[in-house]
Structure 1
Amino acid sequence: MAKKKVSRVLTLNIKAGEASPATVAKDLGPLGINIMQFCQAYNAATTPSRGLVVPAKITVFEDRSFQFAPKTPTTASLLRRAAGVDKGSAKPNRRAEMSISRDQLREIVDIKLPDMNTWKTDTAEKMVVGAARSMGIEVKD
């Protein structure tokens, strides 16, 4: 069987379990794939992470079929959930309005490590701490 020719590869950030034609149509509609079929498959695959933003790498083929691979939830959405807030601080460098514990940080690192560009947990922790700082979230010991 011959390999399908890839038409396009794209990455979309969509809330897990909440994909609808309205949210993805502007990105997927011009590619000619079945949007409802994508939404059903994405929602089924990301149900355990419901409420978090989960990127999906979508490969569209010339025959308008597709494959997708959900990634781990975004660091920002994991930090917001751990801190119990809806969005980061409006003035993150002036004062830290929210905080998370070191244990919560390690949980986030364990979730994110497969998709990060490092295999060392201490380096990954520094990356997540930097993201937290830019959102106005302080990591307490």
Structure 2
Amino acid sequence: MGGGAVADRPRSAPRTRRAGSAGAKDSSMAKKVTGYLKLQVPAGAANPSPPIGPALGQRGLNIMEFCKAFNAQTQQMEKGSPIPVVITIYADRSFTFEMRTPPVSFFLKKAAGIQSGAKATGRDHVGAVTKAQVREIAEKKLKDFNTDDIDSAMRMIEGSARSMGLDVKE
């Protein structure tokens, strides 16, 4: 069969493109994600000092751009509440970020009126929360949990409360 190397490839085998042959189609494709960064930042208090500055700086991201955008989006929230944020880092050093709700422990400490959980879990009891408070927390956190069932979310929160040394009352 004439044609050299083409005869060696079976007809059913797919043709492969060489790297860089996509041409102008690259601009319509999604940006290449190079990594993710998870941080917990106080609402309305993002600044370039540690831990935010070094974490973003070593990845080549614009620190002030993140701080301004984060503070603008969290200005309606309670100042100082810890906001988990997942930053998606792209190859061109741009980024997007997604904010989650504050951790369950933050809500539980606020509901029980305590500064910190028990030092010795299982032995020390530092406070109590009611089922109504647990339900309220579950409703706030439901979108971050891996369930859509409020009762399952309540059980998860009750477990967190017990591990913090809180009693769950009716």
Tell me the alpha carbon deviations over residues 96-116 of structure 1, each in whole angstroms, 9 at most, x when there is no partner: 111112211111000110010
Q: Give SS of 2:152's match.
A: helix
Quick one: which amino acid aligns to residue 71 of structure 2? Answer: N
The alignment's C-alpha RMSD in Å is 1.3
Alignment-derived partner of residue 138 in structure 1: 167
Alignment-derived partner of residue 46 in structure 2: 19
1:114 correspondence with 2:143: yes
Aligned counterparts of 1:87 and 1:19: Cα–Cα separation in 2: 23
1:105 correspondence with 2:117: no
Tell me the alpha carbon deviations over residues 19-65 of structure 1, each in whole angstroms, 9 at most, x when there is no partner: 21113022211111111111111122223143221111110111111
User: Quick check: 1:46–1:70 contact (8 Å CA) kept in 2?
Assistant: no
More helix by share: 1
Alignment-derived partner of residue 4 in structure 1: 31
**What is the aligned-residue identity percentage?**
41
Which of 1 and 2 has higher RCO (CA within 8 Å, sep 6+)?
1
Q: Give SS of 1:112's match.
A: helix
Aligned counterparts of 1:43 and 1:96: Cα–Cα separation in 2: 36
Tell me the alpha carbon deviations over residues 82-131 of structure 1, each in whole angstroms, 9 at most, x when there is no partner: 11222111123113111112211111000110010111111111100111
Q: Give SS of 1:107's match.
A: helix
Alignment-derived partner of residue 40 in structure 1: 68
Aligned counterparts of 2:122 and 2:97: Cα–Cα separation in 1: 37
Quick one: which amino acid aligns to residue 98 of structure 1? Answer: G
Quick one: which amino acid aligns to residue 56 of structure 1? Answer: V
Q: 5+ residue gaps in structure 2?
A: 1-27
The runs of at least 4 consecutive aligned structure 1 residues that moved more than 6 Å come to none
1:81 correspondence with 2:121: no
User: Quick check: 1:9–1:59 contact (8 Å CA) kept in 2?
Assistant: yes
Q: Give SS of 1:31's match.
A: coil
- TM-score norm. by structure 1 comes to 0.92
Matched residues, number: 141
Q: Give SS of 2:74's match.
A: helix
Max Rg structure = 2
User: Quick check: 1:52–1:78 contact (8 Å CA) kept in 2?
Assistant: no
- TM-score norm. by structure 2 comes to 0.78
